[in-house]
Amino acid sequence: MAENTIDVTDSNFEEMVLKAGIPTMVDFWATWCAPCRAIAPHVAEMAKAYEGRVRVVKMNVDENPSTPGKYGVRGIPTLILFKDGKVLDQLVGAVPKGQIKDLVEKGL
C-alpha cells in the first residue's frame, strides 16, 4: 500500500468511503492483475497530490467480493469516484495518468 492510500474492506467501506466527508476514489484491484500494477504509481501520485482534499483508497477484489459486486465492478482495475455517498464517475482499465487526474478533479 502506498503511503497516502488506505486499504478498505467490505466491512469498513461504508465508513471509509460513503461517509468520508470528502470525495473518495476507490481503486478496485487484485495482486495478480498486471494492469492494476501498471496504474498503481499513478493512483499513489493522486493520493499524495490531493491529500486532504480527496481520499484515495484501495480494495482488493479477491479479499472483498461483496462491495465490487454491489457497484458492478466486472473488470479491474476499476476506479470509482464517490462524493456524498454516491458514485460520481468511474474508469475501467489501465488508463493514462491524465484520465485518473481528470476523474479526481471531478470530485473537487
Instruction: Look at residue 33 and tell me if it is in a domain.
Output: yes
Give the up-direction half-sphere exposure of residue 19: CA atoms within 13 A in the CB hemisphere.
5
pLDDT tens-place string over residues 20-56: 999 999 999 999 999 999 999 999 999 999 999 999 9
Instruction: Look at residue 42 and tell me if it is in a domain.
Output: yes
Examine the residue annotation and report whether 106 is marked as an active-site residue of this protein.
Answer: no
Reported pTM: 0.96
Write down the residue that cell numbers 482488493 correspond to. 60
Total domains in the chain come to: 1
Hey, which bits of the chain come out as E strands?
6-7, 24-29, 55-60, 78-83, 86-92
Examine the residue annotation and report whether 48 is marked as an active-site residue of this protein.
Answer: no
Of 16, 36, 39, 104, the catalytic one is 36
Provide the domain limits for residue 47. 6-106
